[in-house]
Structure 1
């Protein structure tokens, strides 16, 4: 073990075991964070159970969600919060019994499973229900009840069985939903799409302050409390920010319509952080406390299973899902384990650090897990849902080009190992799903990006943002520079929206779905472009 690794382990241990005595002798932000993250395990406080008759306001203000579909299981989520903009959600520090039902029909005449789960105050009355065993490849409907209150109905599905010769899997990819930059109209359209699963590729929320008018949401007929007009630092801050985002009706509609598979990028914690390194040079022992708060709130408010429950500042978010023999999805976490960005976290002239094999975007354990998973895969399509642009992306077609140090370009040696691992495993149909950059891009993944004539080894589909960057434009100002500098870019648009991908036995089709504006509600949706890649012949072509 290196000294750096040993030091990092010591910092994580400190964040996990930061006790009250230390809190009383610590000053500043670190003290507040330490206190915020020291919560007992669910039920440890032996809180009394709340009489459901005392819940006199609708507790399901944040909607319902499902996630991580398995062949024989679904994960159901909700949070009880009658007054979501209050720190306690409007409930006392008591346990609450929540009834749930799963049915084959929306009217719940054919209920297949039902039960009771406890919503604990230690987890801000969020619940995560893993329902099994269930039939594979089926659609189900679900709801929750507390006292006389019934939640909205959600629709979910199980994955096909591992042996199933599935003809098609249709997914959607979304990312980057800055509440203060506009309305989540794209989610309302996504709720009406016929997709099997939605992959959220990061920046579910933003840590920046949101003023009383909601930033660009000038048409919102409400005034937000001052509690949102500050950057998120503490566990309470992050919990309140999730509550703000989940009050959005369009986001709630999308969650109720489809199972989500989520992974984070940077803004769920702090912009451009890398491992235990803060953007602003905060000492690692202090930043890890903030990370622990952010990770806990993330798990509480997302449809995630028990293995993803964080321990202090650590949370194993990378995981694998399979949809029959057609698709294997390896969901990555490129924030928690990465080396610090080389030459700063912006666009820089490339230097020798990019080729340093000791630097990593995934961490050694996650990299090994991915490559081993490819070795064992027998899927037609191996899909990599992750956060930052994988393919090379030069900013200009001249010798003085720069690259983003925050994307895979800043970790070129790490990218080469991934591509070498895919080749060694015989992966023929590699597709990378990406978010982060607030533009829609279709790219060919090249064996050697320095040689435009080199072999194409996969495709990358970059989804634009839901709202981040405000309205955007069909043709971004840097369109010509980017496309001339990167001949492997096959499509480039700056509007907001999402992408759908239909994976079939013979080909995959990506439809870039965009809205013309987000700074006022009600925008229509249209298909900006459709691209196809053939199985066994990687590379994107117009549909």
Structure 2
């Protein structure tokens, strides 16, 4: 079996590897499940030099009542194996862990003791059933300048289209996938379809309780194209707003509905249960998602949380002009603790590149044509003073690049010390990934794009179609393909590179001097 065949089979759930060896026997046949418990696929994440997180969640009926996935109200043993080859002829790690009913039968296995910079394969067994296999890897030795191929994705509204972009991403066999928020959407059926219509339907009701969020995650995870993307590579994940509620901010609900803190805690727990995250991520009723992952001496990913610690949006949120509140130096998006963590990480980074993975557009974006200004107050434009401070920090950071989701459009932008000064130095490039599915097929309005760029000359490229970013990084340059699909309202469209940018490695502000290629 060649690599591409392995990935294709793993993503469809059709790959049944040879019987597990080296683990203790599974439960007796009297407790063997009658249906496959691996309907939600497998995943890995947060790789380090000697290991990674392995994830699966048992569910014989993903849309079973009360978010339990059709599983009995008892724990189940899960055997796991890690091998150096896709045939599992050289197993290097194995074990057995409980999938607890209280955790929706999810498991998070933190594998360690492996060799750095290596590709591995993994699989599970439970109750007499075998899982599909996944491909993952450890990060290189801390001194290595090993090249990296990584994908960037965001925003996958289930109702708005099929997940063909996930399938195309998996086929490119990245070393790493960076997912930057809106993995699932909390709306009820047809709760947000004005721009896209509805291709398929959410589970009943909007997400409020733990059972609601578990059920919605299971519906999304049931998609075979998403399963293929998880099986292809380890993921670095962070949430944005829709994993909880549209435009929430800290402890503030955007709708003012009572009981938001309980709702947020339920959403956080379901998010952890369904993602390849380390156990330390779950801290009481909160999540710790700001973290750093290094790829040897080549790059360090600084993953930010732009929701949990922010002040409420200024001037009643939305896209507005004339909002002086957004300029207040006291307003924070990251929160004091995360801000100190980020500054310390940027100052102490010894890697060649520094990649900030975050959720909302960082560059200034004026949505009003002609005189005056209208900005999105949910983005960094609503926290302008803190952005200015961040630009100052990035100006002293080696080769900074910002990776962003949320916008449902590809963007390529210069991040400047002062966006009101045309001669202000460029501090970094911002690469914004369009959505996997949110807002449906998308479109190409060349007139609108030209007018938007004319209003915002620091933005050089916009594309409203669906897709993802595919990046290749080495010591000398970062090359990024903006990948797009014409349609997601039907399955199977091919992806193409609609734009490419090459960013040479330098130091200081000149590091952002990218050279776009058609």
TM-score by length of structure 2 reads: 0.90
The alignment yields a C-alpha RMSD, in angstroms, of 1.8
**8 Å CA contact retained: 1:217, 1:520:** no
Instruction: Give the one of 447, 451, 454 matched to 2:424.
Output: 454
Deviation at 1:501, TM superposition (A): 1.5
Aligned to 2:314, what secondary structure does the other structure show? coil
Equivalent residue for 2:243? Answer: 268
Instruction: Give the one of 130, 142, 148 matched to 1:162.
Output: 142
How many residues in Structure 1 have an aligned counterpart in Structure 2?
482
Equivalent residue for 1:259? Answer: 234
Alignment gaps of 5+ in structure 2: 1-25
Deviation at 1:81, TM superposition (A): 0.3
**8 Å CA contact retained: 1:185, 1:250:** yes
Equivalent residue for 2:494? Answer: 524
Is residue 96 from structure 1 mapped to residue 70 from structure 2 by the alignment?
Answer: no
Equivalent residue for 1:307? Answer: 280
* Partners of 2:183 and 2:305 in 1: CA distance: 14
**8 Å CA contact retained: 1:295, 1:310:** no
Alignment gaps of 5+ in structure 1: 1-48
Equivalent residue for 2:15? Answer: none
* Partners of 2:86 and 2:474 in 1: CA distance: 29
**8 Å CA contact retained: 1:74, 1:158:** yes
TM-score by length of structure 1 reads: 0.86
Is residue 242 from structure 1 mapped to residue 222 from structure 2 by the alignment?
Answer: no
Is residue 209 from structure 1 mapped to residue 188 from structure 2 by the alignment?
Answer: yes
Equivalent residue for 2:133? Answer: 153
Closer, same or farther: CA 510–335 of 1 in aligned 2, 3 Å: same
Deviation at 1:350, TM superposition (A): 4.0
* Partners of 2:283 and 2:446 in 1: CA distance: 39
Deviation at 1:541, TM superposition (A): 2.1
Deviation at 1:165, TM superposition (A): 2.4
Is residue 434 from structure 1 mapped to residue 412 from structure 2 by the alignment?
Answer: no
Deviation at 1:519, TM superposition (A): 0.8
Instruction: Give the one of 343, 356, 365 matched to 2:328.
Output: 356
Equivalent residue for 2:455? Answer: 485
* Partners of 1:101 and 1:331 in 2: CA distance: 29
Deviation at 1:355, TM superposition (A): 2.2
Deviation at 1:397, TM superposition (A): 4.5
Deviation at 1:454, TM superposition (A): 1.2
Closer, same or farther: CA 460–350 of 1 in aligned 2, 3 Å: farther
**8 Å CA contact retained: 2:190, 2:198:** no
* Partners of 1:414 and 1:205 in 2: CA distance: 28
Is residue 341 from structure 1 mapped to residue 316 from structure 2 by the alignment?
Answer: no
* Partners of 1:336 and 1:477 in 2: CA distance: 37
Aligned to 1:180, what secondary structure does the other structure show? helix
Deviation at 1:496, TM superposition (A): 0.2
**8 Å CA contact retained: 1:50, 1:94:** no
* Partners of 2:115 and 2:106 in 1: CA distance: 26
Instruction: Give the one of 150, 154, 157 matched to 1:171.
Output: 150
Deviation at 1:540, TM superposition (A): 2.8
